[in-house]
Structure 1
């Protein structure tokens, strides 16, 4: 494609966060470009879409096509399997305690992306460029994206949703901190003998969390098994029967006999944060702005909050007659999203490191925290509500239908 095409906003990255951001803007009548090739990876990963994210997807008109492939997470059980001297009893969290049918809904990641992509193809004010971005230029007046196929896109605001290794972030001059953990995650889909009863179960082991999350049908679940890098590679090399037996043992046979019922993935554990998610005519969302281990279903839900918040920022700029890519328009987004990412990222990092530490004082603090949440109803409800959606600063499309 050749020639210059002009837009109010251009989203670079065709994953779930980028698609949601582009849809949210286009549905408000904002001329939006979505730049990126569509290449979903089948690696057994699922996403637990928390209640606020479901509300957002519903407002975009996407949830009706996703819901048939999603399973409710009505309860969350946390089981300490570290062997600690301060091992607390299992903690049980029930969505009905905070007035919800479910904390969220679990769906295969590839299915989510495909549903959003199909909607994007028919949404007015949204133009899809099936090409990666080669480079971008930004100045006080505009931003220009050069595509690998030779085309160019001019816009007032670039939304970087181009992933954990974001080229747009790398070229922005923003300060980035990244780190790795001595862990990797095995991901896959399981079929099992006993019903999951819409319960998500997370075992806290000394090597990391081992999590089983319901999928539709009652007898299928997704697995995220975080363990040491060496053990993860060895598990990944097992045939389906041997891996299923290992999962069954680690799950203490709670769901009975198991078999592998989907693709597998092996995901290194790493973390990343930025000093601020905004630069000149640039806003970072999703893993371009924050990366942390798959614990507590926070990763993509945080990215969807980024997308929904960006929609609010652009709409506020439009109502005030401001340039959506200006520093004044993006300042609030930077503060709000930066604070949310730091809070969630720190909580996940501390939990993960506390499991790896194998220190009695840390075990005692973690155990006391679980006991307090299990026995003190007001505290438990606060934690559940905050986990589902922040009380302050929640985007408008996530607050309610």
Structure 2
């Protein structure tokens, strides 16, 4: 059945994805395209808070395989150069470091696009995808069974699936109901997000200032004279900035950016995002696999969040395809264990890397400043190390999902 809205009490699927954000849409599309009868459960809520996502090369390959990239890419800007500037005031400040995608044979490290455009493109693909049924209502709990799970729907209906995929966000009701243990933490920071217009062209360069309150990042957008902003600051300072009018905020951003992009103005919606983290002990439970922010949450630093969620979706697709091809149960313990084992290291490593970077900026201890400065200096000047870090940042060298490989 093609992707059309449906409310079918008692319908049964091999896979049911709960959550209609980018990760959930990608997971449902990937499963359905492999010939697996799939349902996508969830309302399609609008995304409009000024956030963008930098889709790294592996994620771009995945979106191409799903048939969504042509539409996404038409509204995306390439990230050809990454620039890191130490603005901490440390005694051990290294000079600015630049990393070029051409050094590792890529046209761009990734492409920056508004989150709303990405979700809209995936949604249009879903509505035309055979084997995918869209059930555009909220889930109201699940009941795992011996052969399948029953998903209750907010409208009173229900569906069944041998594998339920929890893509229902950082407050995931499915995760909470499953009993999966989580580790949660908060940071004394919030992130201001918005879109900027500026007088000087960005030249496809993404710039990240490391400050004592967190990273301040300008990411290119199409046209050369627009960029997206992620400004991590202390909670009180972020709230003061968020309370400014557009002219006042633009002036503050221009000053923090040292005028490198000239005069600025706010050119999109604004958001204020609390900084928190979450990591599950395991991304699986009985007939349940967790992906995206249902499995891991960390600050908007280093373009890792959604890219990690898309790797979850692509990795789960590989497990489901193998089970479907061999006539096995995609929700079996063996299938779920394969997914969990493949995702555990990647999620833990990315979470730890972002956490260490962020916390290291918040302290002025000389040993930590020295270690951070020397690390950046080494990456900037040691060719083999620099290229290894760039490749690993774009896509893990080992265990990459099939649809993300070169």
TM-score (norm 1): 0.99
For the residues of structure 2 that align with 1:285 and 1:305, how far apart are their CA atoms? 9
CA shift digits 1:271-314 (9 cap, x unpaired): 00011101110000000000001111000000000000010000
Q: CA deviation at 1:2?
A: 5.5
- Name the structure 1 match of 2:119: 113
Q: Secondary structure at the match of 2:71?
A: helix
Q: Structure 1 residue 56 and structure 2 residue 98: aligned?
A: no
Tell me, yes or no, if the aligned pair for 2:104 and 2:390 is still in contact at 8 Å. Answer: yes
Q: How does 1:69-218 map to 2 (within 5 A)?
A: 69-218=75-224
Tell me, yes or no, if the aligned pair for 1:2 and 1:150 is still in contact at 8 Å. Answer: no
Tell me, yes or no, if the aligned pair for 1:210 and 1:226 is still in contact at 8 Å. Answer: yes
Tell me, yes or no, if the aligned pair for 2:314 and 2:404 is still in contact at 8 Å. Answer: yes
Runs of 4+ in 1 over 3 A off after TM superposition: none
CA shift digits 1:305-356 (9 cap, x unpaired): 0000010000111223210000001111101111100000000000000001
- Name the structure 2 match of 1:296: 302
Tell me, yes or no, if the aligned pair for 1:47 and 1:108 is still in contact at 8 Å. Answer: yes
Q: How does 1:1-400 map to 2 (within 5 A)?
A: 1=7, 3-400=9-406
For the residues of structure 1 that align with 2:46 and 2:296, how far apart are their CA atoms? 20
For the residues of structure 1 that align with 2:326 and 2:283, how far apart are their CA atoms? 22
For the residues of structure 1 that align with 2:212 and 2:244, how far apart are their CA atoms? 22
The count of residues paired between Structure 1 and Structure 2 equals 400
Q: Secondary structure at the match of 2:99?
A: strand
Q: CA deviation at 1:40?
A: 2.2
Q: CA deviation at 1:68?
A: 0.9
CA RMSD of aligned residues (A): 0.7
Q: CA deviation at 1:196?
A: 0.2
Q: Secondary structure at the match of 1:171?
A: helix
Q: CA deviation at 1:358?
A: 1.5
Tell me, yes or no, if the aligned pair for 1:65 and 1:115 is still in contact at 8 Å. Answer: yes
Q: Secondary structure at the match of 2:289?
A: strand
Tell me, yes or no, if the aligned pair for 1:140 and 1:280 is still in contact at 8 Å. Answer: no
For the residues of structure 2 that align with 1:270 and 1:247, how far apart are their CA atoms? 23
Tell me, yes or no, if the aligned pair for 2:16 and 2:39 is still in contact at 8 Å. Answer: yes
CA shift digits 1:109-143 (9 cap, x unpaired): 01100110111111111111110101100022110
For the residues of structure 2 that align with 1:132 and 1:122, how far apart are their CA atoms? 21
For the residues of structure 2 that align with 1:210 and 1:342, how far apart are their CA atoms? 24
For the residues of structure 1 that align with 2:127 and 2:157, how far apart are their CA atoms? 19
For the residues of structure 2 that align with 1:383 and 1:348, how far apart are their CA atoms? 14
Q: Judge which range, 317-326 or 63-72, deviates more.
A: 317-326
For the residues of structure 2 that align with 1:279 and 1:339, how far apart are their CA atoms? 18
For the residues of structure 1 that align with 2:184 and 2:58, how far apart are their CA atoms? 28
Q: Secondary structure at the match of 2:91?
A: coil
For the residues of structure 1 that align with 2:343 and 2:233, how far apart are their CA atoms? 30
Q: Secondary structure at the match of 1:154?
A: strand
Q: CA deviation at 1:397?
A: 0.2
TM-score (norm 2): 0.98
For the residues of structure 1 that align with 2:348 and 2:8, how far apart are their CA atoms? 41
Unaligned runs of 5+ in 2: 1-6
Tell me, yes or no, if the aligned pair for 2:143 and 2:151 is still in contact at 8 Å. Answer: yes
Tell me, yes or no, if the aligned pair for 2:8 and 2:159 is still in contact at 8 Å. Answer: no
For the residues of structure 1 that align with 2:184 and 2:120, how far apart are their CA atoms? 30
